[in-house]
Structure 1
Amino acid sequence: MIPQLFSFLILLNSASAYFINEEECLNYTVYPVQYELKLIPHILRDGTSYLDCDITITVIANARQVQMIELDAKDLEIHRESVKVFKNEVNIISSVRPYEYDRRMGKLYLYLREELEPYSERNTQYYIKMFFRKFLKSDEVDDGIFFVKYEEAGRQKSMIATRLSPDRAKYFFPCFQNPQFEAVFRFKVLLPNTADDQLSDTSLTVAEELQRHSQKDYQTAIQYIPSPQVAVHQVGFHHSDFASKSVSATLTNDTLTLWAPSTHLAKHMFILKFGQSVLDVIQEYSSGNRPLVNGPINIVAMPKTIETYEAGSWNLLTVGEHKLSNIPQYTSIMQKEQMSYLLTQQLSRIWLGNPGEVERTRWKQEWFKEGMATYFGYYFLSQSGRSFWDMSVYGLQTRNKAMMLDWRPETPNLESFNRTLAINIPSRYHPLVSYKTAALIWMVENWLGSDKFHRALVNYLNTRRGKFVSVEDFTTFLQSETVECEFFKGYTVSDVLSSWFRQPGYPVVKATVYRNQDTQDIVYLEQKQFTFSNVTRGHHKYLIPISYFTQYTENCFNCFQPKFTIADSGYTFKENLNGGWIILNRNASGYYRVNYDNVTWKMIVNTLNSPERYRINALNRAQILNDAFALYMSGDITYELAMEIVSSLEHEDSYVVWDAVLSGYQMLKIDGAVGKMTKQLYNEWKMLLREVISNVYRRVYNDIDRDDRIRMFRTRIITFACSIGHAPCLRDLEPALHQVTRSLYDPDLRQICYFTLLNRSDGYDSIKTVNSFEREDFNTAERLAKEEVRFFYRLPVERLRPMPLIESSTVTTFTPVTAIKPVPREKASSSNSIHRWSDAAIMSAFALIAFINW
């Protein structure tokens, strides 16, 4: 600890210079160098809580004629006589008007009796001092600092915690709420020793504990070493009576310490061991023994429903306890996968750069870091030895998730977030930034080859430690490391990625084959921006890396190592198709959709319906099915062709394909799409899907293997089958519906049980949630049920479609138009059950309107 303390003294002398040299801070007249907080937390036995604090802020000035200091402070009780501003040892606060506190705006104005002197070689610093009290509210996460009640061994206890992102630090202490300002933090915590206070001796901050000692009138005084330079939203404080368990990485001295009530620790061992395996994977990947942080990484299991980690945290990670617990009778397989991914993503953020590094790595574009952390979150998860799927499955999922968000004309491009911190990315765009960036990185990986790509990527990150990382620098380095993989027509990796970063949305590529039986076939490619709406498609031209394979590969030119891109509206090349199909976007890694001419579509569908369907790998089968839903709703293919493509699912048994179908099904509910949905059309789609899911449903329902992948597949299929009214699924679910009302159930089926019950007029009253796992699934089911009701309620009732005229030499007849496979091949009784349930569901949907409004 002593060498670190000595380093701080050097840091403090140079800290001011750091801020003066930061370009973005030159327009500010006063900014902080150090915060010193002496905290006295009170958790009273009567169920209330408050925090007393003495604060000293060391500041410097950057301009003349400054006679007022503006701070951010919200809901703080400031002791009037304590407010002082010292120059050396002289208080220069105005005695006539010392300060003004605008409680509504959250602003604290300090008035001085003399102007501040700009910082110079004389080391002119000022010290703002005050005492304040913060009354804490129970479970109010939006207040930044709050207390949470919980039960341990039959006793009621409380804890204090902070969640200061994105702009909640002002609820904790008076500060300069500017995310560009970084300062050193020095904490001292005094533990009260009164009969009214709960005995709590666990206090965590963003710095390591230096020492504990007794102090008059207090149980203990805890001193912490000075923190690194951090922004106020990265500060954290935790105070409780928690216990801990720790694990260490194999190759470095990185330590994960998980804090929770002592009786709860056992259920967190899965995630703790998992985190250890992820640390080992990261260190093996980075080919070095460089620790992620200088000190332990504390993970706090909050006895409250908090869904995610704070992006800026690196050594004090707080999240809801249910996101860290693996309890077989309560934790579903979906929750288990999600908790694993969230921790892996957070550790990836820390690895990519954090204030606790020995040499600080900074990212100029934090949206790029967020996308990279999402990509590595999935990549390290797939490599951890406890993974559910490999990276190809996760890569396709990021592609599909991003495309569902990226089609609206008003959606911004990624580079529009260049000056935005991760905490300031609007919540409606945060998934887009994360998933789209990750999908584009996965596209480049597949183009260059995984080994070559990852070798270049880790070399880049290792060379940039302690420096700045930028998109431009990254793409330039990647190009230099993979120069032999230069794209056709001289396009570089930088060119390709820039065309996607600087333009919103994504394209659909139309492949038209001009077939010639005597010579090579000619393939004509053209691109246009994809959108579901009727608005004019943008004139964006993406640099699209084209890869493909053919039905008969014997004489195929570029099936294995394609090396060209299309940038203009049209591109033509020759290929030996030998009377077969061509499929673009090999392994579905490209961030674009593909449409074909009718003949090629028919050939592809014929293959999908034949035993030769495995000529098309699962990733491309998934892409074809997902694209079919999208192209139908965007008006690019007909209803009949879309139904025919989806009908090929009848014998599909791949998780990745069905996962893409489930994602595609949600596109049927897009408002304002060209493919106008009606009640009749929507029911026809559900009838078809009930039919094609029949085979795979029966197979997975009878599979009771507890392997994680089988559980995941089983859960997804049963949930989808029951949600679309598949009669055998609803019959099989009946016992589970009775069990879930008594809290005796298969947790993997809990969400669909809630959803089904909510679609019954009396189902709401029978649902009881007693823990965070159940509440999470109930909230999801309730949201989906409301969305389904609202969607179906808005759909117009379609008039009978005109019947085509059939000419005959004898009589003229009218034949009704039917779907490709309009009648399920289930038994008649099952079919009747489906219709009865569907009618009941529709009727109950209208009954739920009152519940939704309530």
Structure 2
Amino acid sequence: MISRAFIFLFIIFSVANASFVNEEECLNYTVYPVQYELTIVPYISDFSSFFDCHLSINVIANEPGVRVIELDAKNMDIDFGSIHVMKGNVDIVSKSRPYEYDNLNGKLYIHLSEPLIPYNLNTQGYNIKLTYRKVLTEKSDGIFLVKYADENGENKYLFTTRLTPNKAKYFFPCFDNPRFEAVFKFRVYVVAKNHVGQYTNTSIVIGNEQRKEVNPQKDVIIDYTPSPQVTTDQVGFHYSRFTNIQITSKNDIFMVWAPGNTLQYYNFILVYGKTILDLIHEYSGVNRPLVNGPIHLIAVPSERVDGYEIYSWNLLTNRANRIAHQEEFTSIKQLETMTFDLAQQFSRIWLGNPGELQRTRWREEWFKEGVATYLAYYFLAQYNQGVNKPSRRQPLGPYGLEMKFKAMAVDSHRTTPPLGNFNKSLAAEIPLRYRDLITMKTASILWMVENWIGSDKFHQALVKYINSRRGKYISLEDFTAAMDRDTIECMHQFFNGSTTSKILHSWIHQSGYPVINVQVLRDRTPNAIQLNQRRFSFSPDNRHETDYLIPISYIVQNNENCYNCYKPRFTIGSQTYTFGENLNGGWIVLNRNASGYYRVNYDTTTWQLIASTLAVHHESIDELNRAQIVNDVFALYVSGDMELPLAMEILNYLDKERSPVVWRAAEEGFRLLRNEENGCHMTRYLYKELQDFMRRKVAPTYDSLSNSHDFKTRLFRSDVVNFACSLKYKPCLDNLKYMYEQYRRSNMRLDPDFREACYYMLIHDNAYFGINRLNAFEQDDRRVAEHRLRDENRFIMKTPVGVPRPMPIIMSTEATTLEASPVITEKYLADSSTSIIPSISIILVSILFAMR
């Protein structure tokens, strides 16, 4: 008989998860797992590494007549004589046809001598038992072997799992459905020292240690507490000879595990993790731990581990060089990625995980991913400003632009679906090509709403809602309703009845993003500003009308009497929206703080006024707005919505620009020139002309770079060097070549912040990399450089050659002969490409011949 404890466990399980199970109509399994018990005995050696496992699965039947139990199991040696299905004390496995194992498709079929009885309170469950052996290599799926060198240079090995998505069947026979939840109970043997195998002393699973005992063979047997109800891809197991450093935040214990001789490289991530945990606790205002037990972070020295698994909450694994901070090897960009990734993972944990005392579930997992991304950037903004009090909240600023540009790069394609299409998708099942869409676009829309209703009000409402839903479901509909209740005030009712819920829904159920066309009618007082929207697209045949509900904010050049510059309270929809504003002959710039998820195209006069201001006193426009203007200009030109002379006139001021935010926006914008869908009829000649133009613009900034080693300066310097290198700026290339030669001769180490640019230069020139083997940090930068160059070469190969663009000329009015000499304007000579100046002589000859 199944024990009363099991029945009690299942009743609790049923009550807690009834709504969850009932609403998942797609579950077509006839048998449902309730609890897995795994007894694992690992063996590690230089010759063969494997583990033996005794598995017990408590299951129930969902419908009558079931005579075959179907388990997922792949690439494992099953002891078929150990397979039993126990109905109480009776084994009901068929004697004539007990099992079938299809290793190719990863299926184990257990045939029964009698049908299963569907579960109810008057019946019982069943217990599946079997034993298997899993041989591990470095190429195994799900759970695999990792080799590394210890402090003596000797080879050591570890076992680690990566079960997302649908790879649990490589670890243990199971019902590998990401919607099935069960309790997991582990028992692990730490085998005693011997002359054959590697001695290990570290065993970590998703449960907390309950007790240890030593058997007569001196093996240490560790029993773990039963886990919360989790899916198979939330299970984790790690077995090694690692050691740890740990730190305690206000409510949580954070531990980092690595080989003992490398622990000093993880002090940064340890202290940083504590700071982010403290920020989360300050932000939430609730004095409770994120999880029940320590949070383990394991540095896995393997390229197969790339980032965190989305569903992990207390056993986090990441590639060692993704969390290590070595001054001589970690670049500032790698450090930036490292800090964002951990902040995002901790945000996921705070928003809901199986290890919290009251389980929070999200009906739309893509929405949880977007909120976690928004919070990660928010906590990074506080971290970089040293802020740990909600009353001193720092805005997202540059981080907001970063996530917006990443989202737009994906969202502009014609086949990109709306966010609402992912409502039924699990986060782990969303294709990688849409990962930036669901994370960055959702975060960008939240940033837009935050700036519209006010930062303090937005964050207070967000925290209040998340705290109120502990132990319950969170849905997008419920979230937006709560935001409406907590952010609308009668005295500040929005002009056209727009609310947070209406805005969010208009963006979630439409794909892409809009461009707002601004037409200023200057022949009346006050001036009339007309706004209308359509979908932004680089392809001319994908520009249909849209109905986004867009929060409008703006600044004006002469703002003495500008009411809406300080209280942006209106939105526009599909119809043309007209409002009055006295511009006094100046410009208007929409999207104050650049927080709106849209682009803006002005009439020619307004663009020219903006260009004049940028040329004379660019800092009179906020740097976030300058960054948005620069990026929009590139995008509008590529899409065919702006002529090249006007675009170059606006961008001409960049040689005076020293803002890191603007230059990152310029680099992102220049990358848009390589978009295969474009309305500007891009050619190789045209691309080279723009490359020459930007080379001259970046030169003064490159020449003025500081040698300071603070975070922001290092990041800016790295961005500018990478951009100048990709533009083939000769002083930059010469400096990189000199640095690399010095590195090869061992006179100086290669600055990690310049390493990616060096590799780009070497790969472009087919140069020799040297005999030294690249470490993991260097390999990452080489892969990034190869990807950048491959994208550029693919674009060049697919782009027609074209012809040089005609040079602008001015005919002299004083000429009295037929050989009148055209005069090239001084301004154009200052800005034109030296590579196409020889074409001037062709134009001169053509004109003279025509005049004769």
Partner of 2:545, secondary structure, is coil
| Contact 2:810 2:823 survives alignment (8 Å) | no
Q: 2:260 aligns with which of 241, 259, 262?
A: 262
1:643-698: CA deviation from partner (whole Å, max 9, x where unpaired): 11221211001111111111101100000211222111111111111111111111
SS in 1 for 2:86: strand
Q: Distance in 2 between matches of 1:579 and 1:767?
A: 64
Partner of 2:731: 728
Distance 1:406 1:818, change over 3 A: farther
The one of 395, 410, 432 equivalent to 1:405 is: 410
Is the alpha carbon distance of 1:800 and 1:275 closer, same or farther for their aligned partners in structure 2, counting shifts above 3 Å? closer
Q: What displacement does 1:139 show?
A: 4.8
In the superposition, the TM-score normalised over structure 2's length comes to 0.92
Q: Give 3-state SS (helix, strand or coil) of 1:228's partner.
A: coil
C-alpha separation between the residues in 1 aligned to 2:667 and 2:6? 54
Identity of aligned residues (%): 46
- Whether the 8 Å contact between 2:54 and 2:129 is mirrored in structure 1 is yes
Distance 1:506 1:825, change over 3 A: closer
Map Cα deviations across residues 208-250 of structure 1 (whole Å, 9 max, x no partner).
Answer: 0111111244511110000000000000000000001110112
- Quickly say closer, same or farther: Cα 1:407–1:650, change in 2 above 3 A: same
Query: Aligned to 1:619, what secondary structure does the other structure show?
Result: helix
In structure 1, the partner of 2:514 is: 507
Q: Distance in 2 between matches of 1:168 and 1:819?
A: 66
Equivalent residue in structure 2 for 1:543, among 530, 539, 549: 549
Counterpart of 1:462, as a letter, is N
Amino acid at match of 2:264: A
Question: How is 1:699-778 mapped onto 2 (pairs within 5 angstroms)?
Answer: 699-700=704-705, 703-741=706-744, 744-761=749-766, 763-766=767-770, 768-778=772-782
- Counterpart mapping for 1:278-293 below 5 A: 278-293=276-291
Which of residues 780, 784, 787 is equivalent to 2:791?
787
Structure-2 change in CA distance of 1:29 and 1:487 (3 Å): farther
1:467 is aligned to 2:472:
yes
Which residue identity does 1:590 align to in structure 2?
A: G
Establish whether residue 453 from structure 1 lines up as the match of residue 451 from structure 2.
no
1:742 is displaced (CA, Å) by 5.4
Alignment of 1:838-849 (within 5 A): none
Report the counterpart of residue 416 of structure 1 in structure 2: 421
Q: Give the aligned partner of residue 322 of structure 2.
A: 323
Distance 1:422 1:78 in 2: 32
Counterpart CA distance in 2 for 1:227 and 1:804 is: 73
Q: Could you tell me which residue of structure 1 aligns to residue 157 of structure 2?
A: 158
CA spacing shift, 1:387–1:151, aligned 2, 3 Å: farther
Question: Residues 566 and 610 (structure 1 numbering): CA distance in 2 closer, same or farther, change over 3 Å?
Answer: same
Separation (CA, whole Å) in 2 of partners of 1:353 and 1:621: 38
CA distance in 2, matches of 1:511, 1:8: 67
Given residue 298 of structure 2, which amino acid in structure 1 is its aligned partner? Answer: V
Equivalence map 1:233-244=2 (5 Å): 233-244=233-244
In structure 2, distance between residues paired with 1:674 and 1:710: 37
Distance 2:560 2:201 in 1: 72
In structure 1, distance between residues paired with 2:282 and 2:15: 37
Query: What is the TM-score of this pair, normalised by structure 1?
Result: 0.92
Equivalent-residue separation in structure 1 for 2:349 and 2:725 (angstroms) = 40
Contact 1:804-1:814 at 8 Å conserved across structures: no
Query: In 1, distance between residues paired with 2:82 and 2:24?
Result: 29
Alignment-mate amino acid for residue 704 of structure 2: R
- Other-structure match for 1:226: 226
CA RMSD of aligned residues (A): 2.4
Deviation at 1:474, TM superposition (A): 0.9
- Amino acid across the alignment from 2:62: N
Read off the aligned partner of 1:522 and give its amino acid letter. Answer: A
1:304 maps to a residue whose letter is: S
Q: Which moved more, 1:446-455 or 1:15-24?
A: 15-24
Shift in Å, 1:385: 4.7
1:353-368 aligned within 5 A = 353-368=352-367
Once residues 825 and 694 of structure 2 are traced to their aligned partners in structure 1, the CA distance between those partners, rounded to angstroms, is 15
Code of the aligned partner of 1:714: R
The one-letter code sitting in structure 2 at the alignment partner of 1:472 is: E
Q: Corresponding residue for 1:845?
A: none
Inter-partner Cα distance in structure 1 for 2:544 and 2:485: 33
Distance 1:739 1:307 in 2: 32
Contact 2:514–2:536 (CA under 8 A) maintained in structure 1: yes
- CA apart distance, 1:817: 9.4
Structure 2 gaps of 5+ residues are 388-393, 839-852
Equivalence for 1:307: 306
Give the letter for the 1:556 counterpart.
Answer: C
1:334-385 CA-to-partner distances (Å, cap 9, x unmatched) read 1111111111110000000000000001111000000011111111111125
Q: Is the 8 A contact 1:643 1:819 kept in 2?
A: no
C-alpha distance in 1, partners of 2:528/2:344? 45
- CA pair 176-396 structure 1, distance change in 2 beyond 3 A: same
Alignment of 1:35-46 (within 5 A): 35-46=36-47
User: Relative to 1, partners in 2 of residues 1:806 and 1:259: Cα closer, same or farther, differing over 3 Å?
Assistant: closer
- Alpha-carbon distance between aligned partners in 2 of 1:166 and 1:341, rounded to the nearest angstrom: 23
- CA distance in 2: counterparts of 1:740 and 1:119, whole angstroms: 70
| 8 Å CA contact retained: 1:100, 1:110 | yes
Letter in 1 for 2:35: Q
- Separation in 2 of the partners of 1:774 and 1:486? 55
2:34 equivalent in structure 1? 33
> How many Å separate the matches in 2 of 1:814 and 1:433?
59
Aligned length: 816
Partner of 2:203: 203
User: Is the contact between residue 647 and residue 821 of structure 1 (CA under 8 Å) also seen in structure 2?
Assistant: no
Alignment partner, residue 3 of structure 1? none
Deviations 1:564-608 (A, max 9, x none): 111123111111101100000001000000000000000000000
AA of the residue aligned to 1:361:
T
Q: For structure 1, which segment, 383-392 or 397-406, has the greater mean C-alpha deviation from structure 2 after superposition?
A: 383-392
Judge conservation of contact 1:751–1:781 (CA < 8 Å) in 2: yes
**Which residue of 568, 573, 579 corresponds with 1:567?**
573
Q: Secondary structure at the match of 1:490?
A: coil
Aligned 8 A contact 1:526 1:571 in 2: yes
Q: Secondary structure at the match of 1:692?
A: helix
Alpha-carbon displacement from aligned partner over 1:613-658 (angstroms, at most 9, x marks no partner): 2221000000000000000011111111111122121100111111
- The answer for the alignment partner of 1:848 in structure 2 is none
Change (3 A) 1:86 1:181: same
Residue of structure 2 in register with 1:136 after alignment? 136
Q: 1:25 to 1:523 in 2, by over 3 A?
A: closer
* Structure 1 counterpart of 2:611, one-letter code: V
One of 600, 608, 621 as aligned partner of 1:602:
608
Conserved? CA contact 1:632–1:638, under 8 Å: yes
- 1:719 is displaced (CA, Å) by 1.3
Deviates more, 1:743-752 or 1:411-420: 743-752
Contact preservation (8 Å) 1:203, 1:238: yes
Which deviations, in whole Å up to 9, do the C-alpha atoms of 1:470-525 show, x marking residues without a partner?
111111111111112543311111001100001000000000000036x2000011
Structure 1 position 534, deviation (Å): 2.8
Q: Any idea what the Cα deviations from partners look like across 1:723-780, whole Å, max 9, x if unmatched?
A: 101122122222212134457211110110010011113x144374431101100111
Matched, 1:527 2:530: no
Closer/same/farther in 2, CA of residues 745 and 390 from structure 1, 3 Å limit? farther
Match of 1:645 among 647, 650, 654: 650
- The AA in structure 1 aligned to 2:399 is Y
